[in-house]
């Protein structure tokens, strides 16, 4: 075996398979923050700072920009002035300026403003919206300092540190079941996609499915079958999957018996997929993604992306603001294995 291939083989273990599980965040969370043009000016007399801040915020209040810190330390450490202040947004200017040669008098002249202590203005870019994630914050503050209310969970998720080793082992275990289901489906001539729905509280597998659309029903994608199998376990269900031995479900009864600690749950029937997690080898299509919204899924873990996928690629249905249910999505679970399935 060549050394390269050998190393690859060794890396195909646990670490690599789970190492790049990443959250699929909304566009607002993942795109670069929009920037606005503004005029800033050096504060030459430091003792004027608080007066200048107060008066500037009366003349130019910067509405909707509460995240912007009005004053920053000068970027250039050797500069003669230690502080700089935002005067106004370019778009708030009384008269259009032709870009260069703007003086304080142009910005503040008509306001009977005492601008002693301020130096001549210069153009800066400031972030238009508050940063939502640490990467956005790091980028934004290179332009101008902002406040940042950090969501620690998102930060650690983006670093791939959200899950403990034990949780990763579980994620890997469930996805392995989905991969096996995909292979069983493939043997029956189906698309190689597998899915598993899990109750994370009891750690029980509720349903396992694979794609069945290549036989009689073109809409029987793995996720649709899995959702219907969960319904079966709850005494409902719309189809019969006897032809597919790898498509299975656990009845609500057996789930309860095997996990006594969920006694609190026993009193109330679970509503479809509320509280359940889905593991699927390939990113769901639009139909399947919306089916998961209707079913109130808790979280989705998928392996490889899909060109028309609706949980990150074409749409982000899981964080669509207009919809009544949102959920977390993680991608990249057993990426290599899942990618290889799609190539079959």
Partner 1 sequence: MQGENDSGQTDFLQPSDSEIHAWMSKAFDMASDALENGEVPVGCLMVYNNEIIGKGRNEVNETKNATRHAEMVALDQVLDWCHCREKDPKVVCGQTVLYVTVEPCIMCAAALRLLHIPFVVYGCRNERFGGCGSVLDVSSDDLPHTGTSFKCISGYRAEEAVEMLKTFYKQENPNAPKPKVRK
- The reply on whether position 317 binds partner 1 by CB under 8 A is yes
Three-state SS string over 307-331 comes to CCCCECCCCEHHHCCCCCCCCEEEE
Contacted entry of Zn ion, partner 1, none for residue 294, CB cut-off 5 to 8 Å set by kind = partner 1
Q: Pick out residues in 40-59 that bind Zn ion (CB under 5 A).
A: none
**Least distance from partner 1 to the Cβ atom of residue 306, Å:** 7
Which residues make beta-bridge pairs with 210?
194
DSSP 283: -
By a kind-dependent CB cut-off of 5 to 8 A, residue 119 interacts, out of partner 1, Zn ion, none, with: none
Taking a C-beta distance cutoff of 8 angstroms, is the pair 208, 195 a contact?
yes
- Residue 124 vs 230, nearer CB to partner 1: 230
Q: Which is nearer to partner 1, 107 or 197 (CB)?
A: 197
What is the DSSP track for 55-95?
HHHHHS--TT-TTB-SEEE-SSTT-S--EEEEEEEGGG-SS
Q: How many residues contact partner 1, by CB under 8 A? A: 36
Per CB under 8 A, 238 contacts partner 1:
yes
* Site for Zn ion contains 285 (CB under 5 A): yes
Residue 326 is a binding residue for partner 1 (CB under 8 A): no
The alpha carbon dihedral of 120, 125, 130, 132 has a sign of: negative
Q: Is 221 in the site for Zn ion (CB under 5 A)?
A: yes
Stretch that binds partner 1, among 55-63, 134-142, 144-152, 318-326 (CB under 8 A): 318-326
CB of 247 closer than 8 Å to CB of 220: no
Q: Which stretch binds Zn ion (CB under 5 A): 49-57, 98-106, 216-224, 268-276?
A: 216-224
Whether the CB-CB separation of 272 and 207 falls below 8 Å is answered with: no
Report the distance separating Cα 335 and Cα 332, nearest Å: 5
Is the Cβ–Cβ distance between 272 and 231 less than 8 Å?
A: yes
Select the residue interacting with Zn ion from 38, 193, 288, 305 (CB under 5 A): 288
Figure out which of the listed residues 322, 327, 328, 335 binds partner 1, where binding follows CB under 8 A: 322
Residue 72 pairs in a beta bridge with 84
CA neighbor of 227 nearest in space, from 177, 280, 167: 280
> Applying CB under 5 A, which part among 164-172, 193-201, 249-257, 287-295 lies near Zn ion?
287-295
* Binding at 291: pick from Zn ion, partner 1, none (beta carbon under 5-8 Å per type): partner 1
Q: How many CA atoms lie within 13 A of 188 on its CB side?
A: 21
Residues 6+ apart with CB under 8 A from 286: 308, 310, 314, 315, 317
Report the residue from 149, 324, 343, 344 that binds partner 1 according to the rule CB under 8 A: 324
Q: Look at residue 237 and give the partner it binds from partner 1, Zn ion, none, a contact being a CB closer than 5 to 8 Å depending on partner kind.
A: partner 1
The interface mask with partner 1, positions 198-237, x = CB under 8 A, is: ------------------xxxx----x--xx--x--xxxx
Is residue 321 within 8 A of residue 344, CB to CB? The reply is no
CA nearest neighbour of 191 among 202, 181, 182:
182
Instruction: Tell me which residues touch Zn ion (CB under 5 A).
Output: 221, 285, 287-288
Instruction: Tell me which residues touch partner 1 (CB under 8 A).
Output: 216-219, 224, 227-228, 231, 234-238, 271-274, 285-287, 290-291, 293-296, 306-308, 314-315, 317, 320, 322-324
């Amino acid at each position: 075996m060549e050394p390269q291939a050998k190393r690859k083989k060794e890396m195909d273990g646990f670490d690599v398979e789970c190492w790049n599980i990443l959250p699929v965040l909304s566009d607002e969370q993942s795109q670069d923050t929009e920037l606005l043009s503004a005029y800033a000016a050096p504060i030459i007399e430091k003792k004027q700072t608080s007066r200048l801040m107060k008066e500037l915020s009366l003349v130019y209040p910067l509405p909707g920009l509460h995240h912007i810190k009005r004053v920053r330390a000068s970027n250039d450490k050797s500069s003669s002035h230690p502080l700089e202040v935002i005067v106004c947004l370019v778009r708030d200017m009384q008269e259009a300026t032709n870009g260069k040669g703007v003086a304080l008098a142009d910005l503040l002249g008509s306001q009977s403003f005492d601008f002693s202590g301020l130096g001549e203005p210069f153009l800066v870019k400031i972030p238009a919206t508050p940063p939502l994630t640490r990467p956005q914050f790091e980028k934004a503050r290179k332009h101008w300092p902002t406040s940042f209310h950090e969501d620690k969970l998102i930060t650690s998720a983006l670093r791939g540190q959200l899950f403990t080793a034990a949780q990763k082992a579980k994620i890997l275990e469930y996805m392995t079941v989905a991969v096996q289901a995909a292979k069983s489906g493939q043997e029956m001539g189906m698309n190689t996609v597998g899915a598993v729905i899990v109750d994370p509280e009891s750690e029980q597998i509720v349903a396992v499915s694979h794609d069945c659309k290549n036989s009689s029903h073109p809409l029987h994608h793995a996720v649709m079958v899995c959702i219907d199998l969960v319904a079966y376990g709850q005494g409902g269900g719309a189809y019969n999957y006897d032809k597919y031995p790898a498509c299975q479900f656990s009845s609500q009864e057996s789930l309860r018996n095997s996990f006594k600690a969920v006694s609190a749950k026993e009193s109330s029937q679970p509503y479809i997929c509320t509280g359940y997690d889905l593991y699927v080898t390939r990113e769901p299509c639009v139909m399947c993604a919306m089916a998961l919204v209707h079913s109130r899924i808790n979280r989705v873990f998928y392996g490889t992306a899909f060109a028309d996928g609706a949980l990150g690629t074409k749409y982000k249905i899981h964080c669509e603001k207009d919809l009544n249910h949102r959920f977390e999505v993680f991608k990249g679970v057993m990426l290599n294995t899942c990618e290889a399935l799609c190539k079959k």
